[in-house]
Structure 1
Amino acid sequence: MYVLALWTMILRKMANNKWLQLNLWIGLTVCVALFSSMPLYSKAILQRTLLKELQSVQTANGVYPGYLRISTTVSASSMDAKTTEAVESADRFVKTIPERTGLEALSFYQQRFTEKMKVYGADASAQEKQSQRTLGGFMSLSDLEKRVRLIEGRMPADRSDGIVEALVTQKFQLAAKRKLGEELTVESQDEGGTRFRVIPVGIVETNPDADRYLPFLTTENEDGFLIPFEQFEREFTKGGKARVSGMEWRLALNYEQLSLDKVDAFTQADREVRRYFKGKLGVADIKIPASQTIASYQGKQGKLDTVTLSLYSPVMLMLAFYLYMTANLIIDRQKTEISVLRSRGASRLQIMAAYLLESLLLGLSALAAGPFLGVWFTKLLGASNGFLEFVQRSALKVSMTSSAYQVAAAAVAGAIILILIPAFLATRVSIVSHKQRSARLTRLSIWHRTGLDLVLVSLAVYLLHNFNQRQADLRRLALGSADLQVDPLLFLTPALFALGGGLLVLRVYPWFVRLVYWLGRNGWPPALYHTLVQISRSSGQYLTIQVFLIMTVATGLFSANAARTINDNMDSKVRYAVGTDIALTTKWESDAPPPVSPGAGGQPQSEPATTTVQKRVQYTEPPFEPFEELDGVQATARVFKKQEARFSAGGNEKTGKTALFGIDTKDFGNTAWMKEGLLQHPINSYLNLIAPNPEAVLISRSLAEDAKLKPGDPIRVYWDGLDGATFTVYGIIDYWPSWSPLPSSQGSGKPEQPHLVVGHLGTIQNRLAVEPYEVWLKLADGTSSEQIYVQLQEKKLQVTGLRDATQELVQSRNDPFRLAMNGVMTLGFAISMLVSFIGFLLFWVLTLSGRTLQYGVLRAMGISFPQMIGMLVSEQLLTSGAAVLIGVFIGNVTSMKFVPLFEMSFASKEQVPPFTITYQLSDYLQLYGIIGFTLATGLLILGYRLTRIRIAQALKLGEE
C-alpha cells in the first residue's frame, strides 16, 4: 500500500511539473547520447579509416588488400620422410590462417618448384646440347585448369609411360627451340643427375577472369614446365624423383571483415606465421602488404577514446551544469512541499527515496532513447570535414555495442547523483528557514562561500604553468609526435578556467550593479530603478543562468578558436612543405653513365673512378611549354633546388653548405603559396627587390648571422665540379616556400642550422650549370588534380616525382584524430547552443511565472505595459546581456592563454610554418547571432506571457 501511494505521489508530482520534467529528460537523453556516441564514433571512424588505408595498399602495391604470400626454399638435399612430413605440416598450418586471422579466405592457391635443370631437345645433337643454355624446372599449381588460359594446344594428361606432359609459356617455348608436341629432355645439373622426358602440350597465359582477388600470373615464373598439382606431389614431393627447391602459398583474405576487434588477432596470426616458417623448411619470405597498416591500429581506439573524452569534456561540463540547474529549478518549486512533508514527520530517507525513484524513471527512459540518438550523433560527426563544415561523405557504419550501453548506463548513474544533490540539500531545510531564505536572496551562493571560483582559477593557472613547462621542454629537446595527440586535460582545464573565471567575475558583479544604482538613484526612470533594486536585492537567483551563459559563450569561443587554430596550422604545414598546388619533377636526358651494379668490374681502378667523380653531367632541358598549356593551370613556375650547394662569403671567407633556389621572380610570385606574416614584408616585395638585378639574391637569416652578411655584401655560390659565381645580397628572409629553417641533427653531433640562397634561375643556369628543376603548378578554381594527371598522361610527360598539396590535405583531414576533433567540436558547439537556448527560456519562463503577483501589483499601481516591457528588457540586459559580455571576455582570455598549448599536439621539430593562433570572424558572428537570437526570442516569449497576466487573477492568487 505504501509503495502504491509513493508511486501515485511521484507520478502526480511529475505531472504537475511536466514541462520541467521534459526539459530534465531532454538533458538526460542528450547526456546519454553524447556518452554513448564516444565509443561508437571512435570505433566507426577508425574502422572506416582502416578500410580506406587498406584500399590504398592495393593502389600502392597493385595487390588485393587481403593478399598474403608465403614463399620458402627447401634446404633438404632430398625429399626424405622427414622433409615430406614438414611439407604436409606446413600445408595444414597454412589452411588454419583464415581461422587465426578471423577472416574468410576468398581465394587460395599453392605452388611447388623443383630445382632448375638443363633443357634441350630429345633429338638434339652433341653440339646443340653443349651450346644450349636453357634452364627450367617442374612447377605445379593447385586448381591449374581454372587459373590458366590455353593459347594453343591442350591440357596435359597424366601418363604412365614415363613421359611427362606439361604446359609452358610462349617465352619458354621459344627458349627451348621446340614446337608443341616435340619431346624435350630435362636433365638435372647434379652429378649423375636424373633425366626426364617431357612433351609440352599447351601454351598458357594468365586467365584474368579466373580470380579477381588472386590471379595467377604466368609472367612471374616463365622458365619451367607446369604440371598438375597431384602429379607433382606424387612424383616429386612424395616420390623424390627430383629435389623440391621451393614452395609457395597465396591467400586472399576478405579484408572488409577486418574489424577493430580483429586487429589483435590478425597481428598475432602474422607473428605466428613468421615464427612458424622461420627455418622450418629453408629460407622463408613472408609478404603481407597490409600487415604494417593493420598493426598500426593496435591501441588506436583507446587513444582515440581518450581524445574524444577530452574533446567532449567542455560540453559534458555544460550538460552537467544544465542538469543541475534544471533539477535545482524543480526543487525550488517544491521546497515548500518538501519542508511541509518534513514538518509532518516524513524522514529525509523517505523523501530522497521518492526523488530517487523519480530520477530512475527519467534515467531509464533516457537510457532507452539516448543510445539511438547517439547513433545519429555519430553519423553527424562522420560528415564533419572541419569546424562547422560538413561534406557529402559516405555515412559511417554504426552499430550498437555493449560498451556503448555500459558508458550510457554510467552516464545515467552520474546524472542521477547530480540531480539528487539539490533534493538532498532541500531536505535539510525546515519550513521556517525556507520562508526566511525566500524573503531575500542576497546571501552568497555555496560556490562563493566555499571559494570554488578561486580554487578553479588557481587550479587552471597551475595546470597552465605545467603545460607551459612541457612546451618549453618540447622546444628545447625538439621532441614531437607523428600523430595529433591531445592531452585530456588540454580541454578540461580551459573549461574549469572559464567556470572559475565566470564565478569570480560574478562575485563582484552585484557590487557593480549597486554602484550603478547609487550613481543614479535620484534620476533613474521607474523601470530601470525597479530592475536595479530587484537585481541588487536578489542577485543569487540570477547566478545560475549567468554562469550557464558565461560557460556557453566562453567554451564556444574557445572551441571555435582551438579548432580553427589546429586546422589552419595543419593545412599550412602541408601547403608550405609543397610550396604550391602541385610540385613535380620530370625526366631529363643526360650523359651520365649507367649505374654500376655492386661487385661488377672486378678490382677497383682508382684513376678512372676519380675522373668519373670530377666530370660534370651535362643535362638537356626538356620543353617547358607543355606544362604552360595544361588546361586548368592558372600559373606555372620553374624552381631549381640544389640542396648540397656551398657558399663562401665575408671578410674571413666563411664557407659552408647551403640550399640554392633558382626562380623566375614573376612566375614564382604567381605560383607559390606563402602564409602571411612569416616575412617582415610580403613575399612579392622581396621578389620585386631582386627582379631588376640578375645577380641579386636573398639569403636566410641563419646564413646572414653565420657569415656576418648584410644587404649589399657579395657572396660566392658553387657546388662540386664548378668554379662558382658571385652574387650580391639584396635581402634577408626567415622563411621561403618549401624550405625548412629548422635545424637538423647530424648523428650525435650538434644540430646543424640550414642555410638558403634564392637567386635568378637564368643567372644560375648561365653562370653555374643547367640541372633538373621542379615544375610548380597553381591550379585554377574548380580544377581537380585528376584532370591534371590525365593531361600529363595524354601528353606523355615523363613525371619522375610529384607532390600534390590537395591530396595531402585530404589525407591530413581524414586522419581519425583530426576528424574526431572537428566532429566533436562541431557537435559540442551545436549542443551547447541548443542547451543554452532551452535553459535560458526555461529559467526566465519559470522566473516570470513566479512573479505573477509582483507584476499584477505593479500594474494595479499604475505601471504601464511599455514600462513593464522596459523593466523586462533592462533586467535581461543587466543579467543575461552582462553574462554574454563576461563570457566573451573570458572566452577571449581563455583562448589567448590555452589555445597556444595545442602546439604540443604537433611534431615540434617538423612544424613549419610556426604555430600561430587563428581567429575567424565568422565564428564570432555565428556565436553572437545565436546568443542574440536566444535573447530576442526569450524577450518575445516573456513579453507575450506578460500580456497574458490578468491583474485580478494575480491579486487573488496573492490573497490565497
Structure 2
Amino acid sequence: MALFVMIIRKMVQNKWLVTSLFIGLVLSVALVSSMPIYSEAILSRMLVKDLETMQTKRNVYPGSQYNKLFYTKETPEKMNAIYSKVDRYIHEQAQASFQIPVQELVVDFQSKSMKIRPENDPEPDSKKSLKTMSLRSFSGLEEHIKLIDGRMPAEQQPVDGVYEVLVTERGLIQFKTVLDLAFTVDDDKIAGEIKFKPVGVFQKTLDDDPYFRDTDLSELSGSFIISDKVAKQQLMQEARLPVASVGWFFVLDYSKMELRYVDDFVQTTNKIKNVLLNNVSLYQTVSETPALDTISKYLERADQLRTLMWSLNVPVLIMLGFYMFMVSNLIADRQKNEIAVLRSRGAARWQIITSYAVEGLILCGIAFGIGPLIGVALTGMLGASNGFLEFVQRVRLPIRLTEEAYRYGAISSAACFVIMLIPIIMATRVSIVGHKQQLARLLKSPLWHKMFLDVIALALAIYGLYTFKKRLADLQSLGLNAGDLNIDPLQFVVPALFIMGAGLLLLRLYPWVLRFVYWLGKKWWPPSVYATLIQVGRSSTQYQFLMIFLIMTIATGVFSASAARTINNNTEDRIRYGNGAEVVLTSQWMNDAPPPAGPGQPQAETPAVQAPVHYLEPAFEPFRTLEGVEQAAKVFTKDTTFSVNESTGAATLIGIDTDEFGETTWFRDSLLDYPINDYLNLLAADSQAVLISKTLAEQNKVKPGDTIWVGWSDVPQQPFKVYGIIEYFPTFNPNPAIGSVDVSDESSKGNAPMLIVGHLPRIQVQLALEPYDVWIKLKPETTTAAFYESLKQSKLPVTNIVNTREALVAAKNDPFLMALNGILTLGFVLSILVSFIGFLLYWVLSLRGRTLQNGILRAIGLSLKQLIGMLAVEQLLTSGVAVLIGIAVGNIASRLYVPNFQIAFNPSSLVPPFKVMFDASDLMRIYVLVGFMLVVGLGILAYMLSRLRIHQAIKLGED
C-alpha cells in the first residue's frame, strides 16, 4: 500500500508529463479500437448500399429468400410428415437464425394442374370448354391485397359444396368467366366431385410490396387462390387434392443487414437447403437467395477496404508509438537522477521497474477503459466525412461497441505499456556515476546513428517501392484483379519507414549544416544568435528526439492530405474520363430494320446475307438549344476491323467533329505529350486523317504517314492516313480487360485494346451513316433538374442518359470512399494534435530544465527581449527546421508511395493513370496549423521566461 501511495504522489508531482503520456495512451487506444468499430460500421453501410444497387439494377428485392419443395410419388402420409418437419424447422429455428428482422414469412401451397369446366356446360362431352387450373394459397395474403370486384371468400369452406376462390384480373380473362360462375373439376386424378367458384378479383395494395415474388402477378393468371387454412387442410391433411409443392418465402428487412449478420444469413440459408435435401432428393428442391451473389462480391470489397484501412493507419500508429516513446523517454530523463540514487542505495532493478510498471498499468488500465468509448466518438466523426477535412450531415453509421474493439484496445494498451517501460529499463542500467558521466557527454551519438537505422529503414522502403512497381506493372499488363496477386505486408509500413528513414538521414547531416551556418556568419552574428548556434550545435543530440518526432508527425499529416486528395481527385477523374462529357445522350434513329417478332409470333428466319440497315439522322440543333447547354458534340463509336502493314485486327473507331469535341469533352492535360487540342488541330488539317492509339501502333508497327484501312462487317474497308499516335483518349482504356490475358499464353499478352479516331463527316460519307451519341457540356450554373425538365419538354427521342454529375455524387456517397476520407482526416487531425502536444511538452520541460542557465544570462545583462530572441532562433533552428524537413519528406513520400493505394482498386480499370495530387488548400491548412502551433508555443515559452526571477534561478543553482 505504501508503494502504491508513493507512486500516486510521484504521478501528482509530474502531473504535466503524466497527463501528456495519458493523452497519448488514450489517443492510441482510441484510434486502434476505432478501427474494428469503423470497419464494421462502414462495411455494414457498404453492404446495404450494394444491396440497394442490386435492387435498382435487377428489380429484385434483396431481402427475399425462397425455398420450394416438390412432391412426386410420396404417399399423403409421407408428404404431410415431410412438410411438418420442414415447416417446424423454418418457423422455430430458421426464422430467428437470420439475425435480421423477418417482415414476412409466406407459406405457399400449390396443387397439381387440374382440368376444370364451367358448371352447366352446354357441351359436357366436349373438350372445348376445358381449362387447366392449379390451386394456390399464400399465408397472410389478405393483408396485402385489395378487391377490385366481388367479395372475399367465406371463412368456412366449402359453401354449399363449392370452394370459393379469388382470381386476378388477368386470370378472369384467361378463364373466360365472370364472378360467381362455378367450375367443376373434370380430371381423372381427382376422386369425387369438387367445385370452385371465383367470387372476387384482387390486385396488390402496394405496387412495390416485397410480399409478392411475382411482381406483376402473371404467375397467378392460371390459378385459383384459396385460403391458406383450407389449402393446408385439403391439400396436406385430408389429401383430397394432389399437392405439387410447398414453398417458404422469407421477406427480410435487408436495411438492417450488418457485417456481423452476414455469416448467420449465409449459414441459415445453407442450413435450410440441407434440411430440404435431407428429406427429399436434390431435383425436388429449389432455393433462391438473390443477395448471395452481391454478398460474395461485397466480401471481396470488404477485404480490399480492410487492406486499405490498415495501410492508411499504420503510419499514424507508428507516429503515436514514437510519441509514446518520446514522452516516456522525457519522463525517464527527468527521473534518471532519482533512479540512479535508488540504485546506489541498494534498490534492485526489478524493484524500480516494478514501481514504474504499476504506474504504467494504472494509466494503461484507465486508457483501456475509456479508449474504446472515445473510439466510438471518433467513428461517428469519421462517418460524417464527405471529403478530406469536409463534414456533412448524413445518416448515422450503424456504430456498435464490440468485443473486438476491446480486444484491439487491449493489444494497443499492452504495446503502449511495453513502449513506456523501455526507457525505464534502459535508465535502470546506469549507476549514479554512469549517470553523471552521461550528463557530461552531450555529444554522444544516439543509438540509431550507430546502428545505421536510417539507412536500413530507407533500404526497406526502397525495396517495398520496387516490389510494388513490379506488381502494379503485372496487374496492368496482364489484366488482373488486385486480389490476383498476394499483397506484401511490407507495403503497409513502407511509407512510415521512408518517412522515418529520410528524417533520420537528414538529421544525421543536420549538425554539418549547423556548423556551416555558424562558420558562414561567425564574424557578424549578434551574441544571442552566436550563443544559440553554439547551444544547438554542441547539444544537437538532445534536440533530435523532438526533431524526428516533428518530422514524422508533419510528414504523416502531409502524406494523409496528399493521399486523400489523390484518391478523391483520381476517382473523379476516372468518372469524367470514362464518360467523356458531363452528359451523354443516346437517341432513337429512324431506320428500315425489320420490326422484331411480337409476343406469340414465330421468329422470322435470319437470311444468309443481311441487308444493311439505313438510318435517318435526326436534327442535331435541338440538342444545342436545350436549357443550360454550353456546348454539344456528335460522337460516333463503333467496333471495327482494320488492315495496315499486311496485318489485321479489331479496334474501336471514334468519329468526331474536332472543334465541337474539343470544347465539350473533359481530358486531363498531362496524359499526352501535348494538349489534346493540339492533336485535334492536327486531325482537323485533313479529312482523311486519323489518330491511332499507342497500342495499335506498337502491336502492328504503325507510324505516322502510314495508310490504314477501316471498315466493319457489312461496310467495305476504306483508306485513312495516320497523322498521330496517342496513348489516351476520352472513354478509351488502353489496358487489357480483366481476365482477357492468359498468363500461360505468350501470344495473348499483346492483345490490348486499340483505338482509331477520325472525322465524323468523312466516316458518314465514306463508310456508313449510323447512330451517334450526343455529348453535352452544361453551363456551371445549370442544375441537373433544370436540364432534365428542358429535355422532357423538348420531347427528343432519348433512350439513354449518362450523367457525370450524378455519378460524382454517387462516388462521394460510396462507403468505400467515405472510409478513406474518414481515416485520412483522422490521421491528419491526430498528427497535428499530437505534434502540438509533443512540441509544447518538450519545450516547457526544456525551459524548466534550463532555469539556472536562463537566470545567469539575465544576470549578466541579457534583456528579456534578447532572451526571447534566443529562444525564437533556437526554435527556428530545431522545430522550424524539423517542420520544413517534415513537409519536404511528406511531399517526397507522397509522390513515391501514395500510388501504392491504387492496388486496393483494380489497377487495370484505373484510367487515366493514378496521379499524385496536392491541393493548395490542404497545404495551407498544414502551414496555418503548424504556424499556429509554433506561435502559440513561443508565446507560452515567452510568458514563462517573463515570469523568471533571477534571484530564484541563482538560489536554485546554489541548492
Given the two structures, how large is their TM-score scaled by the length of structure 2?
0.91
Match 1:674 to one of 655, 660, 667: 667
Q: For 1:122 and 1:398, locate their aligned partners in 2 and report how far apart those are by CA, in whole Å.
A: 64
Moved more, 290-299 or 501-510: 290-299
Cα deviation, residue 544, structure 1: 0.9
Q: AA paired with 1:205?
A: Q
Cα deviation, residue 30, structure 1: 0.9
Q: For 1:754 and 1:399, locate their aligned partners in 2 and report how far apart those are by CA, in whole Å.
A: 47
Q: Tell me which residue corresponds to 2:200.
A: 202
Q: For 2:612 and 2:780, locate their aligned partners in 1 and report how far apart those are by CA, in whole Å.
A: 42
In structure 2, runs of 5+ residues without a counterpart are none
Q: For 1:932 and 1:722, locate their aligned partners in 2 and report how far apart those are by CA, in whole Å.
A: 68
- Check 1:183–1:374 CA distance in 2 against 1; reply closer, same or farther (3 A cut): closer
Q: AA paired with 2:615?
A: Y
SS state at 1:610 partner:
coil
Q: Tell me which residue corresponds to 1:124.
A: 121
- Check 1:347–1:137 CA distance in 2 against 1; reply closer, same or farther (3 A cut): closer
Q: Tell me which residue corresponds to 1:52.
A: 49
Q: Tell me which residue corresponds to 2:27.
A: 30
Match 1:647 to one of 642, 647, 657: 642
Moved more, 689-698 or 395-404: 689-698
Cα deviation, residue 264, structure 1: 0.8
Q: Tell me which residue corresponds to 1:82.
A: 78
Cα deviation, residue 770, structure 1: 2.5
- Check 1:220–1:711 CA distance in 2 against 1; reply closer, same or farther (3 A cut): same
Q: AA paired with 1:390?
A: F
Instruction: Say if 1:619 and 1:771, in contact at 8 Å, map to a contact too.
Output: yes
Residues 198-245 of structure 1 show CA distances to partners (whole Å, capped at 9, x for unaligned) of: 333222323339977558864431123222233333334444444333
Q: AA paired with 2:949?
A: R
- Equivalent positions of 1:61-210 (< 5 A) are 61-76=58-73, 80-95=76-91, 96-126=93-123, 129-132=126-129, 134-157=131-154, 158-159=157-158, 161-188=160-187, 196-208=194-206
Cα deviation, residue 864, structure 1: 3.0
Cα deviation, residue 877, structure 1: 1.8
Q: AA paired with 1:647?
A: F
Cα deviation, residue 425, structure 1: 1.9
Q: AA paired with 1:206?
A: K
Moved more, 518-527 or 413-422: 518-527
- Check 1:239–1:609 CA distance in 2 against 1; reply closer, same or farther (3 A cut): farther
Q: Percent identity?
A: 44
- Check 1:544–1:136 CA distance in 2 against 1; reply closer, same or farther (3 A cut): same
Residues 442-468 of structure 1 show CA distances to partners (whole Å, capped at 9, x for unaligned) of: 111222233332332333333334334
Q: Tell me which residue corresponds to 1:616.
A: 612
Say yes or no: does 1:318 pair with 2:319: yes
Q: Tell me which residue corresponds to 1:308.
A: 309
Instruction: Say if 2:70 and 2:285, in contact at 8 Å, map to a contact too.
Output: yes
Instruction: Say if 2:899 and 2:915, in contact at 8 Å, map to a contact too.
Output: yes
Instruction: Say if 1:166 and 1:199, in contact at 8 Å, map to a contact too.
Output: yes
SS state at 2:594 partner:
coil
Instruction: Say if 1:147 and 1:210, in contact at 8 Å, map to a contact too.
Output: no
Q: For 2:488 and 2:581, locate their aligned partners in 1 and report how far apart those are by CA, in whole Å.
A: 33
Residues 776-818 of structure 1 show CA distances to partners (whole Å, capped at 9, x for unaligned) of: 2334436555665566566665654444434444444445444
- Equivalent positions of 1:154-303 (< 5 A) are 154-157=151-154, 158-159=157-158, 161-188=160-187, 196-208=194-206, 218-277=217-276, 280=281, 283-298=284-299
Cα deviation, residue 582, structure 1: 3.1
Cα deviation, residue 618, structure 1: 2.4
Instruction: Say if 1:49 and 1:814, in contact at 8 Å, map to a contact too.
Output: no
Moved more, 210-219 or 117-126: 210-219
Cα deviation, residue 176, structure 1: 3.4
- Check 1:692–1:469 CA distance in 2 against 1; reply closer, same or farther (3 A cut): closer
SS state at 1:915 partner:
coil
Instruction: Say if 1:583 and 1:776, in contact at 8 Å, map to a contact too.
Output: yes
- Check 1:680–1:128 CA distance in 2 against 1; reply closer, same or farther (3 A cut): farther
Cα deviation, residue 509, structure 1: 1.9
Cα deviation, residue 907, structure 1: 2.2
Q: AA paired with 2:79?
A: T
Cα deviation, residue 301, structure 1: 6.0
Q: AA paired with 2:681?
A: N
Say yes or no: does 1:860 pair with 2:823: no
Residues 318-367 of structure 1 show CA distances to partners (whole Å, capped at 9, x for unaligned) of: 11221222122222222222222222232222222221222222222222
Cα deviation, residue 542, structure 1: 0.8
Instruction: Say if 2:118 and 2:129, in contact at 8 Å, map to a contact too.
Output: no
Q: For 1:435 and 1:482, locate their aligned partners in 2 and report how far apart those are by CA, in whole Å.
A: 58
Q: AA paired with 2:642?
A: F
- Check 1:302–1:9 CA distance in 2 against 1; reply closer, same or farther (3 A cut): farther
SS state at 1:838 partner:
helix
Residues 368-395 of structure 1 show CA distances to partners (whole Å, capped at 9, x for unaligned) of: 3322221111111112233333333222
Q: Tell me which residue corresponds to 2:437.
A: 436
Say yes or no: does 1:689 pair with 2:666: no
Q: For 2:506 and 2:753, locate their aligned partners in 1 and report how far apart those are by CA, in whole Å.
A: 49
Moved more, 803-812 or 391-400: 803-812
Q: For 1:476 and 1:152, locate their aligned partners in 2 and report how far apart those are by CA, in whole Å.
A: 65
Say yes or no: does 1:541 pair with 2:542: yes
- Check 1:152–1:396 CA distance in 2 against 1; reply closer, same or farther (3 A cut): closer
Q: For 1:355 and 1:292, locate their aligned partners in 2 and report how far apart those are by CA, in whole Å.
A: 55
Say yes or no: does 1:411 pair with 2:404: no
- Check 1:235–1:10 CA distance in 2 against 1; reply closer, same or farther (3 A cut): closer
SS state at 1:126 partner:
coil
- Check 1:691–1:522 CA distance in 2 against 1; reply closer, same or farther (3 A cut): closer
Cα deviation, residue 548, structure 1: 0.9
Cα deviation, residue 899, structure 1: 3.0
Cα deviation, residue 415, structure 1: 1.1
Q: For 2:432 and 2:956, locate their aligned partners in 1 and report how far apart those are by CA, in whole Å.
A: 21
Q: For 1:267 and 1:483, locate their aligned partners in 2 and report how far apart those are by CA, in whole Å.
A: 25
Moved more, 570-579 or 115-124: 115-124
- Equivalent positions of 1:551-700 (< 5 A) are 551-594=552-595, 609-611=607-609, 613=610, 615-624=611-620, 627-643=623-639, 645-649=640-644, 652=646, 654-691=647-684, 693-700=686-693
Q: AA paired with 1:444?
A: S
- Pairs aligned (count): 947
Q: For 2:491 and 2:809, locate their aligned partners in 1 and report how far apart those are by CA, in whole Å.
A: 26
Cα deviation, residue 526, structure 1: 0.9
Cα deviation, residue 302, structure 1: 6.5
Q: AA paired with 1:578?
A: N
Cα deviation, residue 675, structure 1: 1.5
Moved more, 512-521 or 498-507: 512-521
Instruction: Say if 1:381 and 1:823, in contact at 8 Å, map to a contact too.
Output: yes
Instruction: Say if 1:649 and 1:707, in contact at 8 Å, map to a contact too.
Output: yes
Residues 398-454 of structure 1 show CA distances to partners (whole Å, capped at 9, x for unaligned) of: 222222122212212221221122222222222233223223411112222333323
- Check 1:658–1:143 CA distance in 2 against 1; reply closer, same or farther (3 A cut): closer
- Check 1:79–1:693 CA distance in 2 against 1; reply closer, same or farther (3 A cut): farther
SS state at 1:413 partner:
helix
Instruction: Say if 1:75 and 1:282, in contact at 8 Å, map to a contact too.
Output: no
Q: For 2:438 and 2:418, locate their aligned partners in 1 and report how far apart those are by CA, in whole Å.
A: 25
Q: AA paired with 2:762?
A: T
SS state at 1:221 partner:
helix
Q: AA paired with 1:455?
A: I
Moved more, 518-527 or 416-425: 518-527
Moved more, 364-373 or 79-88: 79-88
Residues 166-185 of structure 1 show CA distances to partners (whole Å, capped at 9, x for unaligned) of: 22233333343443233333
- Check 1:154–1:484 CA distance in 2 against 1; reply closer, same or farther (3 A cut): farther
- Check 1:902–1:145 CA distance in 2 against 1; reply closer, same or farther (3 A cut): closer
- Equivalent positions of 1:481-520 (< 5 A) are 481=482, 488-520=489-521
Instruction: Say if 1:581 and 1:805, in contact at 8 Å, map to a contact too.
Output: yes
Instruction: Say if 1:502 and 1:551, in contact at 8 Å, map to a contact too.
Output: yes
Cα deviation, residue 601, structure 1: 6.6
Cα deviation, residue 759, structure 1: 2.4
- Check 1:212–1:729 CA distance in 2 against 1; reply closer, same or farther (3 A cut): closer
Q: Tell me which residue corresponds to 2:886.
A: 887
Q: For 1:950 and 1:56, locate their aligned partners in 2 and report how far apart those are by CA, in whole Å.
A: 71
Instruction: Say if 1:86 and 1:281, in contact at 8 Å, map to a contact too.
Output: no
Q: For 2:510 and 2:480, locate their aligned partners in 1 and report how far apart those are by CA, in whole Å.
A: 45
Q: For 1:705 and 1:462, locate their aligned partners in 2 and report how far apart those are by CA, in whole Å.
A: 31
